[in-house]
Amino acid sequence: MKRIGILGDIGSGKTYVAKCFGFPVFNADLEVAKIYKNNRQVFKKLKKELPSHFGSFPIKKSEIINAILSNQGNLKKIIKIVHHEVRKRMNVFLKKNKSKKIIVLDVPLLLENKINKKKDILVFVESKKSEILKRLKKRKNFNMKIRNNFKKIQLSLDLKRKKSQFIIKNNFKKNSVRIRAKEVIKNLT
């Protein structure tokens, strides 16, 4: 099984690009949302670690945002608790798809949390900053301070670009991204 890891800036369209490959995708952001909604153990751990920020189950996005904004260190505490569960879910996804030729990992902190393996094919999604900001502002619950806090714990975009074997320019036009994704797959097979 070949693993494609998707890298790029927040809001660059990594999730869309991941889907364009046409293979099973592990979407970490989607899994985190499920964890907040359904996992009582994670809630209990967060409540124990940050009792003034978490009231009742299920975890509300506003509680996460408030915890992160109140103290930069809270983001790392939340990630430490949630990351363990995300990794378990990713391992289940990998086992379930072990017979697939290719799988795609859409994991925002792929390199930072050392989830990638040496043989992984890294694809960097490049987008114009002006387009990214325009798209982010349309998102529900978008908060520039949260974005900046996440950027502080991420590796630089230049480093991610250098570590990547392929670059896909996302101009937010469907056909160009799909064509480039097919070219990447052709190079792998």
Number of domains the chain contains? 1
Task: Provide mean pLDDT across the span 16-40.
Answer: 95
Return the CATH number at 73. Answer: 3.40.50.300
Q: What would the pLDDT profile of 57-78 be if each residue is shown by its tens digit?
A: 999 988 998 999 898 889 989 9
Q: What contacts 93, CB < 8 A, 6 or more positions away?
A: 24, 26, 103
Q: Residue 15: count other Cβ atoms within 10 Å of its Cβ.
A: 17
DSSP 155: P
CA distance 121 to 118: 8
One-character DSSP codes across 9-27: -TTS-HHHHHHHT-S-EEE
* CA 45 from centroid of its chain's CA atoms: 22
What is the average pLDDT score of the chain? 91
Look up residue 75 and give its two tokens.
């983001």
- Cα→Cα distances 119→29, 40, 64, 107, Å: 23, 35, 34, 16
Residue 8, Ramachandran bin (φ over 0: left; ψ between -120 and 50: alpha; else beta):
left
Q: What would the pLDDT profile of 141-177 be if each residue is shown by its tens digit?
A: 777 787 888 888 888 999 999 999 999 998 877 678 8
Cβ(78)–Cβ(64) below 8 Å: yes
Range of the domain at 37: 2-188
Confidence band, pLDDT 50/70/90 cuts, at residue 188: confident
